[in-house]
Amino acid sequence: METSVKIELQHQHAAHCESGVMSTMLTHYGLPLSEPMVFGLSASIAFAYLPIIKIGGMPLIAYRMPPRHIIKGLQKQLKLKISFQTFREPLKGMQALDRTLAAQKLVGLQTSVYWLPYFPPDMRFHFNAHNLLVYGKQNNLYLVSDPVFEAPVIVEDKDLQKARFAKGALAAKGMMYHLDDVPSQIDLQIVIKKAIKANARTMTGAPLPYFGINGIRHLGKKIRRLHQKHGDKFIHKFLSHVVRMQEEIGTGGAGFRFIYASFLQEASEQLNGSALLVDASHLMTNIGDKWREFAMLSVKMCKGRTTMDSNALAVILNECADMEKKLWDMLKRF
């Protein structure tokens, strides 16, 4: 079947794939929300240290809510109508994609990073929850707007199929979604307040030591304990894993903190220049810088430029935790 569809789309270069996709999609359908706004309104900032889920033998460390949370959270907060579909058979998944495109609808896809040929080789890992937008098709080539790239790209159908139906952890099963309806009016003031409250709960309210602020302290404790138990070589491996989780995987811990700071700034403008939110935004920026300091010191120690001192790293992490505690206590009062 020869097809040629192209939807006029303003490509947007974003820091994170999921928030970027949602921001571009909503803007396209007449609800202009920036990426930080999307990220903040879905209450997506978090911290989790999950020793049960292993990546290359190392625990999963997440700096935001799990994949799909941005889409689902936004759907709930803004009462959007989004259709989700998954498929058992790849061929049917591709046909459904073609049909939706033919109906002039932008399609969001969940894909594996590893099988997307346009990704830089060093960044291709088996991570199955990368989001992108498809805005057209010409013969066997799909026109893809991947928000973490500067410009739109072209992907061959067989590569896209492989990426959509990659198996393993977080398997997408060809997940695709499109917007059916966007509310014409949103009371941002109410939604912002609700979202911030919800996020304060996830950061401070979890009863287990692995989540939120407790999770940050737990990571520091873990670093000291692993250093004592397994020595320098192991801890170097562990730290470079932590830093990779923080900085590379979907724009990293500090990156997310800066996005949230930007959200708080935008929110304060929406709420007639709320001074509390301005302060919170500043504090969040400092938190992001603290996380970067942690990453920098970790890598310095891994490279052997300074002596390995796990206590110093734990101190920084505890400072991160203290600052985040202060921030969320502040926002709870809001």
Give the footprint of another protein on residues 167-196 (CB under 8 A). 167-169
Q: What's the min distance (Å) between Cβ of 238 and another protein? A: 11
Mapping DSSP onto H, E and C, the string for 95-122 reads: HHHHHHHHCCCCEEEEECCCCCCCCCHH
Which residue's CB is nearer to another protein, number 75 or number 270?
A: 270
Instruction: From 8-16, 80-88, 102-110, 136-144, give the range in contact with another protein by CB under 8 A.
Output: 8-16
Residue type, 256: F
Answer whether 87's CB lies under 8 Å from 55's CB. no
Give, as one character, the DSSP assignment of residue 271.
T
Q: For another protein, which residue of 255, 277, 301, 308 counts as binding (CB under 8 A)?
A: 255
Q: What residues pair up with 107 in beta bridges, in sequence order?
A: 134
Question: CA–CA separation, 324 vs 119, rounded Å?
Answer: 34
Q: Among residue numbers 14 through 73, which ones bind another protein (CB under 8 A)?
A: 14-15, 35-36, 54, 56-57
Which residue's CB is nearer to another protein, number 50 or number 315?
A: 315
Q: For another protein, which residue of 85, 265, 270, 274 counts as binding (CB under 8 A)?
A: 265
Residue 232 binds another protein, judged by CB under 8 A: no
Residue 124 binds another protein, judged by CB under 8 A: yes
Answer whether 75's CB lies under 8 Å from 82's CB. yes
Residue 13 binds another protein, judged by CB under 8 A: yes
Q: For another protein, which residue of 31, 173, 274, 289 counts as binding (CB under 8 A)?
A: 289
Residue 157 binds another protein, judged by CB under 8 A: no
Residue 129 binds another protein, judged by CB under 8 A: no
- Find, among 223, 217, 255, the residue nearest to 240 by Cα: 223
Q: For another protein, which residue of 94, 176, 261, 277 counts as binding (CB under 8 A)?
A: 261
Residue count, binding to another protein (CB under 8 A) = 73
Instruction: From 63-71, 120-128, 136-144, 195-203, give the range in contact with another protein by CB under 8 A.
Output: 120-128
Residue 115 binds another protein, judged by CB under 8 A: yes
Residue 321 binds another protein, judged by CB under 8 A: yes
The binding track of 67-106 with respect to another protein, each residue x by CB under 8 A or -, is ----------------------------------------
Exposed e or buried b per residue across 81-113, where buried means at least 16 C-beta atoms within 10 angstroms of its C-beta: ebeebebeeeeebbeebbebbeeebbbbbbbbb
Residue type, 14: A
The Cβ of residue 307 has, within 10 Å, a number of other Cβ atoms equal to: 8
Q: For another protein, which residue of 288, 308, 328, 331 counts as binding (CB under 8 A)?
A: 288
Q: What residues pair up with 132 in beta bridges, in sequence order?
A: 109
Q: For another protein, which residue of 152, 315, 332, 334 counts as binding (CB under 8 A)?
A: 315
Exposed e or buried b per residue across 212-227, where buried means at least 16 C-beta atoms within 10 angstroms of its C-beta: bbbbbbbbbbbbbebb
What does the block give as tokens for 13?
A: 């270069």
